[in-house]
Amino acid sequence: MNNLYDSRDMPACVDDLGRRVYTSRLLGRDKSLVLHGGGNTSVKLAGKNAFGEDEEILYVKGSGWDLEKIEEGGFAPVRLEHLKRLALLPALSDPAMVNELVTHMTRASAPVPSVEAILHAILPYKYVDHTHADAVVTVTNSVAGEAGIREIYGDSVVVVPYVMPGFDLARLCAEQFARDAGPQTIGMVLLNHGIFSFGETAEESYGRMIDLVGRAEGYLKRKQAWDIGLAADRSPGAVAGLDLARLRKEISDVAGFPVLVARHADAQAMAFVRRDDLATVARQGPATPDHVIRTKRLPMLGRDVQAYATDYRAYFAAHEMLAKERKTMLDAAPRVVLDPQLGMCAVGRTAQDAAIVAEIYAHTMEIIARATALGGYRALPAQDIFDVEYWDLEQAKLRKGGKPPPFAGEVALVTGAASGIGKACVDALLARGAAVVGIDLNPAIGSLYQRPDFLGVACDVAAEDQLRSVLARAAETFGGLDMLVLNAGIFPGGCRIDALQTEDWRRVMRVNLDANLVLMREAHPFLKLAPRGGRVVVIGSKNVPAPGPGAAAYSASKAALNQLARVAALEWGGDNIRINSLHPNAVFDTGIWTDEVLASRARHYGLSVEAYKKNNILQTEVTSRDVAELAAEMCGALFAKTTGAQVPVDGGNDRVI
C-alpha cells in the first residue's frame, strides 16, 4: 500500500476543501480501496449563514460521485449541528433521514449527501475517509475475522459489528466510538463493510488510511494468505460464440429484458472457476454489501454455475420461491455466471454495467481466495444481503432512474462502419443504448471510439474466416447479436457493359453480394437467439429500382442483395427475424464524394454544388445521418411488424416514384 500524497501537486492557494478533493482522488485511484463510486470522504469547515452567524458545515461526498474524479461541487454541504442532533434520536427511518440531510444543506443544487453523513458528523475529526479496502474486507470476511482485526490493530481502531448503512449504523458507531475510542484511536473498522480513518489534516487522514490498510496487507502476508497461487490448468476453455448467445438468451428471458454478457477468461478467472471448493465459496455472496449496490442489484453476486444449462435454473427456481415467501418482487437473473469452460461472465443492462460487475467480481475472487487461505471465507448471512439489495433507499433510486434507452442490453453489428453511412449508423445505435460492433477494412475502426459499448474490428468482409471471427468476438464481448446493418460496399468507377472486365465484375459481386450472403448466413443462429427477435437492415441503393448507365456491376450487385433480403425475410420470419431495406441516393457526405468530385458532377449537370446536392423532388439534401436514423428506427418498435419492406431515402426521385 503506497502513500501517494505529494504536497507539490497542490497549488499554494488551495483551501481545505481543495485538499479534501486531492486526497479523495488519491483514494479513488487505488481500486483496492474503492470501486466505481464506493467509499466516501468528508471535511468539516466553518462558515457563515445568511444572517452572518458562524456555523459548522460538513462537506460529505455526494451521491453519484466517484472519488477518483470528484470535484468540489461533488461534496454536499450539510449543517453539522443538525446532523449531530439527528444522531441522538432513538430511531429514524432511512427515507426520513435522507429528507433531513437534503433539507439541511446550504446549497440547494448540491448532490444528495451520502447516507453515511451522520456517521461522518459524529466522528470528532476535521477529515474523515471511508473505503472498502480489499485487504481489510478479506480479514473481516474470514472465519476468525473479528479476532484477526483485533490482532492487527489492537486499540488503534474501534471495531463495530455489521449493521446495514444508514441511521442505525450511525447511531451504533456513535455509541461504540464514545465508549471505546481513546487518544491512540486513528480509525474504525466496520466488520464485513470497510474501514474509516480520520485526522486533523487531509494528509493525516489519508496517511492513516494507507497505514491501516497496509497493516492488513502485512497481516495477510504473514499468514501466507497474500500471494495466491493459480491453478495449474487456467487456459480458457474452448467455447463457441453460440454457447454465450444461448446463455445470454436464457438470462434475458429470466430478467425480462435484454442483457449483455461479457466473458472473462483471464488466468485469475479460470483459476477461480476451477477451484475444487467453488460451489461452497462462490455461493456465499459478495465481499461487502457495497458491492451489491455498485452492481445495481440483480442479486447474488457470484455463485457456481458449473453446468450453466441446468444449475442456474435451479437457482432461479429457488429464488422465485424465496420471493413468494417474502411477498417481495425479486430479480432472479444473475449478475455473474461462473463456469469451468466459460470462465467468469459478467451480466449488465449496459456494457458499462457489465464492466463494473466484472471489475468488482475480479476483486471479489481475490478476496475469496485470500480469505479461504486465511482459514475460510465467510460472507454476510443471506438476509443481510437481501436487506441491502431491497433497501428502500436503493429501490427509490431505481424508481427515479427513468426509462432505459430503447436498445439497452442489445447488440448491433455494422459493416463499413469507419465513415459515412456506416459511422452514422454506429452513432444512431449507440445513442439508442445499443452496444455496437463496427467492422471496416480501414484499421482506424479500432480507435473510432474508446468506450465500453463499442468494439471496432478491422475486417475484410470478403474473407469468410474474418467474419466468423468477428461474430465470435461480438459474443465474447457482449454476449450475442440482435441487429445487423449491412452497409459495406464498393462503388467502382463508371464503366459501360461492353468495357466491363470480368475481374472488376467479380470484385464488386464479392464485396457487395457474396460477403453479405456469408455474413447473413453466419449471423442467422445469433439473430435467432436475440431476446427481442433479430433485425437486419440492408443499405441498398436507388440503383435497385432505377439503375443508371455505366453502373452495371454496382446496380446488379445491389439488386441481387435486395432479392437476397426479400428471400431471407420469407425464410426467417418464423425465427422472429425481420429484414428491411433502405435505398438511399445522392448521399454526398461520404468518403467517395470529395469536393472536387462534387464540383465536377455539378458542372456536368449545369448546377451549383448546393443545387446539385438538392436535385430531388423535395429539394432537400440527404445526409448519412438521415439514412442512419431511419436504419436505427427500422430496428426499433415502430417497425416491429414490418419485414421485407423497401424504403427510399432520396428526397424523392422521379424515376423511382
The secondary element (H helix, E strand) that includes residue 35 is none
Residues 6+ apart with CB under 8 A from 568: 520, 536, 577, 579
Residue 443, SS3 per DSSP: helix
Say which DSSP state 32 is in.
T
Q: What angle do CA 430, 66, 77 make, to 5 degrees?
A: 125
Grid cell listed for 69: 474524479
- Report the chain's terminal Cα–Cα distance, integer Å: 72
Strand 646-649 and strand 40-48: the pairing is unpaired
Rounded CA Rg of the chain: 30
Contact 485, 425 (CB under 8 A): yes
Grid cell listed for 354: 457489465
Sign of the Cα pseudo-torsion (201, 169, 114, 78, in order): negative
206 catalytic? Reply is no
Q: What angle do CA 517, 522, 524 make, to 5 degrees?
A: 95
Angstrom distance (rounded) from CA 491 to CA 481: 28
447 dihedral zone (left: phi>0; alpha: psi -120 to 50; beta): alpha
Q: Which amino acid does the sequence have at 132? A: H
Strand 127-131 and strand 40-48: the pairing is antiparallel
Contact 391, 63 (CB under 8 A): no
Catalytic residue among 308, 377, 554, 612: 554
Alpha helices in 327-442 (DSSP H): 351-374, 382-389, 392-400, 420-431
Contact 183, 212 (CB under 8 A): no
The secondary element (H helix, E strand) that includes residue 472 is helix 464-478
Grid cell listed for 604: 456536368
DSSP letters along 384-412, please? HHHHHHT-HHHHHHHHHT-PPPTTTT-EE
In which residue are the cell numbers 486531492 written?
A: 22
Angstrom distance (rounded) from CA 629 to CA 542: 18
Angstrom distance (rounded) from CA 567 to CA 573: 10
- Residue 16 vs residues 72, 201, 636: alpha-carbon distances, Å: 11, 8, 51
Contact 534, 582 (CB under 8 A): no
Angstrom distance (rounded) from CA 434 to CA 259: 10
In which residue are the cell numbers 484477526 written?
A: 148
Angstrom distance (rounded) from CA 111 to CA 101: 11
- Which amino acids are annotated catalytic? 554
